[in-house]
Structure 1
Amino acid sequence: MKKIFSILSVLILLISCNNDYYEPLSNENPEISLNIPFGFPELNKSVSSNKPTKYGIELGEKLFQEKRLSADNTISCSSCHIQSNAFADHNAQAIGIQSRVGLRNAPAVQNMMFMKFYNWDGNILQLEKQPLVPIITHEEMGSSILEVIGKIKDDLIYKDLFRKTFGDENVTPERIYKSIAQYEYTLVSANSKYDKIKRGEDEKFAESETQGYVTFQQKCVSCHSTELFTDQSFRNIGFPVNPNTNEAGRGRVTGIPEDYMSFRVPSLRNVEYTAPYGSFGQFPTLRAVLDYFDKGVLNADNLDPVFKQNGNRIPLTEQEKINLISFMKTLSDREFVKK
C-alpha cells in the first residue's frame, strides 16, 4: 500500500511540474450574472442562448486579442477596437492586414447585448454571427475560419480553455463565435458622470452641462434616445457621401432605395473617445459635426425629416455648440476605457 501511495505521489508531482502552461481541468464553468443598468433596453434575444460564463468570457477575451485570426498574424479584433477609444478606432477607416483600408470607420464595441442590429448598416442581427465578417474580409483580416482553427487548435492554452468552456478540446467555428460574443456582452458602459448623477451618486451638472442637456433634449433626442443614447434606427442625415461605389448604407442590406446612405444612429456614450465621426470618419471632432449640422447637410430624397423639415439643418448658436459638447462629455465612462 505504501509503495502504491509513493508511486501516486510521484505521478502527481510529475503532472504538476508539467502544468506550467495552463490551469488544471475544471468542471465548473458558472454563468456570470449580467449587470443590467437601470432603464436600459431589453436584451438582444441571442443573449439568452449564449449567456456569458466564467471561462467563456476568458476564452472570448483571448480570442478578441488573438492576432492569429488574421492571415499574416498581425491584426486582432483589439487592433481596431481599442479600449481607450471605447473599443472603437482612431482611424477614419479601419486599417487591416498589409495596411489595407476598409470601407468604414470601426464602430465602438459597448453595450452590445442591448443592440438590435450590428455594424453601420445593421447587416448582423446576432452578435455570434459577427466575428466571421472581419476574419474573411479582404480589407480586414483576410483569412478563413478553417485557417484560424488550424493555427490555434494545438495550442495548450486554447485546448484548456475550450475544455473548460465547452467540455472538450474541440475547436469549432461556432465555439469561437460564441465565446467572442460572450466577452463582448460583458463590455457594458454605464458609469459615466451622467449615470452617477441619475443614480444620485455624484455632484450636479455644471451650468454648461445643464444647458447642453436642455439643448440636447430639444434638438438631438429624437435620434439619440433611450439610455443607450441611440434609438437604433437607420437614417440618412446628409453627411458627406463615401466615394467608394460599394457603399450604399442600409440599402446594401435591404435593396430598398429609401434606405440608400442611411446608417445606424451611433450611441453617444463615450463619444468623447471615439473620434473621428461618421461612417467613414468624415469629421475629426465633435465640433466639426455640430458646425456641419448648423451650416446645412447634403440634400437627398430620403433625408431624415429632422433635417428636411428644418431647411436641411439643425441650427445651433455658438454657445449651444459649446454646451452640447460639455453635456456629451458627461457620457464618458472613464472606468470603462481605463482612463
Structure 2
Amino acid sequence: MKNLIRSLFIFALFTACNGEETVLISYENPELELEVPFGFPEFNNSVYTNKPTKYGVALGEKLFHDTRLSADNTISCASCHIQEHAFADRNGKGVGIESRIGLRNTPPVQNMAFMKVFNWDGNIRVLENQPLVPIITHFEMDSSILEVIGKLEEDPEYMELFNKAFNGEGITADGIFNSIAQFEYTLISANSKYDKVKRNEGETFTEAEALGYQVFQDKCVSCHSTELFTDLSFRNIGFPLNPDDEEAGRSRVTGLAEDFMRFRVPSLRNIAHTAPYGSFGQFETLRAVLDYLSNGVLEADNLDPILKENNNRIPLSEAEKDQLIAFMHTLSDSEFIGK
C-alpha cells in the first residue's frame, strides 16, 4: 500500500473590519502503510474502506485508553484489553464498571485486520460496529454514544484531533468508531519465534518445539489453521457449559438450535499470555485444556465431527501435551505484547 497523503480542506468564515473573508485551512493526514506479513491472508475489506491514517490511529489509540467512554469514567477499552496479555485480560469473565461481571471471557485484540468475524459468537462482522457494544452494554461501560460525545466535546485536544483525522467534521459517533477500528487494525502480531523460523531468519525450533509442531499438524490444525491459527469457524467442542442461562453460543446470533454452544475458534497466537481459556475462562492453564480434550469432552448432538469420530476426545500422551505446549509458546510475540 502506497503511503498516500490526503489534503483535507474546510472553510472557516471570519468577519474582519472590511467585511467577511474566507480562509482556507488544509489538514494533511497521511495513510499508514500496513503490510501483510509472510504467509498471512489478505486484509479484510474494511481495512480498505477505513484506511488507517496518522491522525485516525492516534485518535483511536487515545480513545482506546480513555475512561471517559464509560458512564462513571472508570473503565476504558484498555482496562480489559491489556497489551501484556495480547490485549486480553486475566479474568474468566469480563469485568465492567462497578465490578459488574459479563457473560464471557475477554477476547484478545490482535490481527483484527485479517478477521472476518469478531467476538465469541461472531455477532460482529465489521470491526467499526464493535466499539459501540461495550460503550452501551450494562455490564461493560453502561454509557451512551451521546454521553461520550458530550464529554469529549469539553476537551479541545479531542476537537483538534477529530478534525485532523476526519476532514474537519468535528467529534462524531462515526469518528469514534472508525478511529478505534483504525488503531486496532495496526495491532498486528507476526513476529514470534514461529514466524522467524518460517521466514528462515536464523531461529530454529528446539527438539520439543519441533515435536510439538508435528503433534499440532496431526491433531490441531483442522481448526487452528492458516497463519492466524484459526479457521474462523464456529464449533461446539464440548467444553464445560457456562452456568449463565443467557449463554447459548452462536445460536444467540442465528437463532438456530444447531448452533447451540458453538463458538468461534480462537487464535492460538500469544496463547501463553491469554489465560484463562475458554468462552468463560473454564481452564486456568494450557495443560488443563489439553488434559480435558484428551480425557473426553461433554457429549452434544452438535459436537464437532472431529471429536465425535474420536470418541469425544483428542487423545494425547503426556509427552505430546508437553511438546504441544512447548510449540504453542513459540507463538508468543514479545514485541507485540511489550515484553
TM-score by length of 1: 0.92
The one-letter code matched in structure 2 to 1:325 is I
Structure 2 counterparts to residues 1-339 of structure 1, below 5 A? 27-168=27-168, 170-339=170-339
Alpha-carbon contact 1:159-1:169 (below 8 Å) kept: no
Q: Could you report, residue by residue, the CA deviation over 1:110-137 in whole angstroms, capped at 9, with x for unpaired residues?
A: 0001001000000000000000000000
Letter in 2 for 1:80: C
Q: Distance in 2 between matches of 1:294 and 1:314?
A: 5
Alignment partners' CA distance in 2, 1:256 and 1:45 = 27
> Which runs of at least 4 in structure 1 moved beyond 3 Å after TM superposition?
none
- Asked if the contact 1:160–1:169 (Cα under 8 Å) also holds between the matched residues in 2, the reply is no
Separation in structure 1 between the aligned mates of residue 121 and residue 47 of structure 2, nearest angstrom: 21
Partner Cα separation in structure 2 for residue 41 and residue 135 of structure 1: 31
C-alpha offsets along residues 203-242 of structure 1, whole Å, 9 cap, x if unaligned?
2100000000000000000000000000000000000000
CA separation in 2, counterparts of 1:36 and 1:60? 21
Quote the Cα distance in structure 2 between the aligned partners of 1:53 and 1:41: 22
More strand by share: 2
RMSD value, Cα? 0.9
> CA 1:85/1:285 → structure 2, altered by over 3 Å: closer, same or farther?
same
The answer on whether the counterparts of 2:242 and 2:280 sit within 8 Å (CA) in structure 1 is yes
State which drifts further: 198-207 or 59-68: 198-207
The residue type paired with residue 144 of structure 1 is S
Residue 284 of structure 1 aligns with an amino acid whose one-letter code is E
Are the counterparts in 2 of residues 55 and 164 from structure 1 also a CA contact under 8 Å?
Answer: yes
Secondary structure in structure 1 of the residue aligned to 2:221 = coil
Partner amino acid for 1:333? D
C-alpha distance in 2, partners of 1:234/1:134? Answer: 22
Q: Measure the CA separation in 2 of the matches of 1:57 and 1:26.
A: 19
Partners of 1:153 and 1:200 lie apart in 2 by 50
* CA deviation after TM superposition for structure 1 residue 157, in Å: 1.0
**Contact 2:36/2:42, CA 8 A, preserved across alignment:** no
Tell me the residue number matched to 2:15. Answer: none
Task: Tell me the number of residue pairs that the alignment of Structure 1 and Structure 2 aligns.
Answer: 315
| Structure 1: segments with no counterpart, 5+ residues | 1-24
Contact persistence 1:66–1:76 (CA under 8 A): yes
Question: 1:202 Cα deviation (Å)?
Answer: 2.9
Distance in 2 between residues matched to 1:296 and 1:171, nearest whole Å: 53
Change (3 A) 1:154 1:169: farther
CA displacement at 1:26 relative to structure 2: 6.5
Q: Distance in 2 between matches of 1:90 and 1:52?
A: 29
Q: Tell whether the 8 Å contact from 1:26 to 1:164 is kept in structure 2 after alignment.
A: no
SS in 2 for 1:27: strand
Q: Does the Cα contact within 8 Å between 2:66 and 2:77 map onto a contact in 1?
A: yes
TM-score, length basis structure 2 = 0.92
Q: Judge which range, 29-38 or 176-185, deviates more.
A: 29-38
Query: Secondary structure at 1:275's aligned position in 2?
Result: coil
**Which runs of 5 or more residues in structure 2 are unaligned?**
1-24
Structure 2 counterpart SS, 1:312: coil
Q: 2:69–2:76: 8 Å Cα contact kept in structure 1?
A: yes
CA separation in 1, counterparts of 2:26 and 2:203? 45
2:60–2:183 CA contact under 8 A, matched in 1: yes
Q: Which amino acid aligns with 1:332?
A: S
Q: CA deviation at 1:32?
A: 0.4
1:14 is matched with none
Aligned mates of 1:42, 1:231 — CA distance in 2:
14
CA deviations on 1:228-286 (whole Å, 9 max, x unpaired) are: 00000000000000011111110000011110000000000000000000000000000
Offset at 1:41? 1.4
Deviation at 1:154, TM superposition (A): 2.4
Higher fraction of helix = 1
